[in-house]
Amino acid sequence: MTPLEELHVVVPARDERELLPRCLDALGVAALSLAQLRDAPRVTVTVVLDRCTDGTAEVVRDHPVRVMTTDVGNVGAARRLGVASILASTAGLSPRRVWVASTDADSVAPERWLRDHVAAAAAGAQVVTGPVLPDPGDLGAQLLDRWLALHGPDAAARVVHGANLGFRLDSYLAVGGFRTLPEHEDVVLVSALVAAGARRGAVPTVLTSGRRQGRTPGGFAGYLRRLADEPTGA
């Protein structure tokens, strides 16, 4: 496969003043880990501030990231805008040489996360997906047990989360990119990529917030809320 020259991480954020710092700190560690590799691609993190009113913009000033500001109030549109900014900043570079990783402002990527994206790309993957683990401190023992019972290793190959996703830029462009959807834009994108013949790889688990009041109408927080409301034994 064509070697990567640049790796961009897109992080949409809407009122994430409390959780965004740990997300960006973790990405900084992952970028340093990747930089230890010979011929590692250059890493850039882009934070898309979407309709923020809580001071999230002040958080990003303390981190070496690119910042976009929008008022779309739509996670699919925010991710799309983030990738569009990457396309503009890499003009003149073949999209085959650019990899885009996607995560969320309430999530914490492991140290080897970006290394694993690059390794998957080198092995021929054009899109990678991976599982998430809700922060156990947010769930309580009963809900955590229920989550783990439903999301074992066999489920990891089937799930799609915008908090743990990556793709070659040329493959993304070929299917029209993220749709401007209020949720499930990640699932729709991966479905389109796989349908177009993109080779799918896997990356390891990302820790994410276990809150049950999210930034979208349903999404991951809505799923956790429904899971918590199920009767015991359901």
| 160 contacts 194 by C-beta, under 8 angstroms | no
pLDDT tens string 10-19: 999 999 999 9
> What mean pLDDT is predicted for residues 95-113?
97
Domain that holds residue 173: 6-138+155-210
* Average model confidence (pLDDT) across the chain: 91
Whether residue 65 lies inside any domain: the answer is: yes
Number of domains observed in the structure of the chain:
1
Better-predicted residue by pLDDT, 173 or 151: 173
From residue 125, alpha-carbon distances to 3, 65, 194 in Å are 12, 26, 11
Name the β-bridge partners of 67: 47
Whether residue 167 lies inside any domain: the answer is: yes
Whether residue 110 lies inside any domain: the answer is: yes
Per-residue pLDDT for 233 more than 60? no
Whether residue 225 lies inside any domain: the answer is: no
From 206, 207, 175, select the one nearest 191 (Cα to Cα): 175
62: CATH: 3.90.550.10
Q: What is d(CA 14, CA 113) in angstroms, rounded to the nearest whole number?
A: 23
pLDDT tens string 175-195: 999 999 998 999 999 999 999
Q: What is d(CA 160, CA 151) in angstroms, rounded to the nearest whole number?
A: 12
Q: What is the pTM of this model?
A: 0.91
